């Protein structure tokens, strides 16, 4: 079993605390306690401090979710892949008793006070949109339509995660599942 170093522990703690509390509600003392690292570790690994840590945590969380999306898109239809993403978020929400949300959405809500964190969230959302659009194009959708549909899918799923967390039910995600499938199906050519 490998032991994680302070940089990795700080990243994982930042992701976990972003999911639970958001960027602004997470202080340095929270990060240090959660990650079991010394104060100097933050500035050693993230010279710009908390902002840089949350920016890098956003990219790291984005890569993890992107890898899941890649795996699903490699083995399923676009609608099936999004179904798998929704299954994932339902498990995260119910498994955490609705305390954990999407870290990328939390980063997006960091606002103008954290421009690098907010920009990281925009970059991650764009990557997901591009991946879904590429899968739709591969399945026969027109490029312009694929991009709009993919962006709408990302927005629908992220909004449903937020609604589900707030209402403490997966019903908004279940609704998004139905709507996203209809939207994706409408963008694809009908089988002959």
In angstroms, rounded to a whole number, what is the distance separating the alpha carbons of residues 8 and 13? 8
Please check whether residue 52 is in contact with residue 42, taking contact to mean a CB–CB distance below 8 angstroms.
Answer: no
What's the rounded Cα separation, in Å, for the pair 148 and 153?
Answer: 9
Provide, rounded to the nearest whole percent, the portion of the chain with pLDDT above 90: 89
- For residue range 97-156, list pLDDT tens digits in order: 999 999 999 999 998 889 999 999 999 999 999 999 999 999 999 999 999 999 999 999
CA-based torsion, 62, 54, 115, 163: positive or negative:
positive
Please provide the average confidence, as pLDDT, over all residues in the chain: 94
| 172 band by pLDDT with thresholds 50, 70 and 90 | very high
Once rounded to an integer, what is the mean pLDDT over residues 23-48?
91
Where does the pLDDT of residue 8 fall: very low under 50, low under 70, confident under 90, or very high at 90 and above?
very high
- CATH number of the domain at 6-187, please? 1.10.357.10
pLDDT band with cut points at 50, 70 and 90 for residue 82: very high
């Amino acid at each position: 079993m490998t032991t994680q170093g302070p940089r990795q522990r700080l990243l994982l703690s930042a992701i976990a605390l972003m999911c639970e509390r958001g960027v602004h509600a997470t202080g340095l003392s929270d990060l240090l306690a959660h990650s079991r690292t010394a104060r100097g570790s933050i500035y050693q690994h993230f010279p710009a401090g908390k902002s840089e840590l949350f920016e890098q945590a956003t990219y790291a969380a984005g890569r993890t979710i992107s890898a899941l999306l890649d795996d699903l898109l490699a083995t399923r239809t676009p609608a099936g892949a999004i179904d798998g993403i929704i299954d994932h978020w339902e498990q995260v929400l119910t498994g955490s008793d609705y305390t954990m949300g999407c870290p990328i959405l939390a980063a997006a809500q960091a606002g103008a006070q954290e421009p690098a964190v907010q920009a990281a969230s925009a970059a991650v959302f764009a990557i997901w949109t591009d991946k879904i659009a590429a899968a739709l194009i591969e399945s026969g959708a027109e490029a312009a339509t694929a991009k709009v549909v993919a962006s709408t899918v990302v927005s629908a799923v992220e909004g449903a995660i937020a609604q589900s967390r707030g209402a403490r039910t997966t019903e908004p995600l279940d609704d998004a599942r139905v709507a996203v499938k209809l939207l994706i199906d409408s963008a694809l050519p009908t089988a002959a």
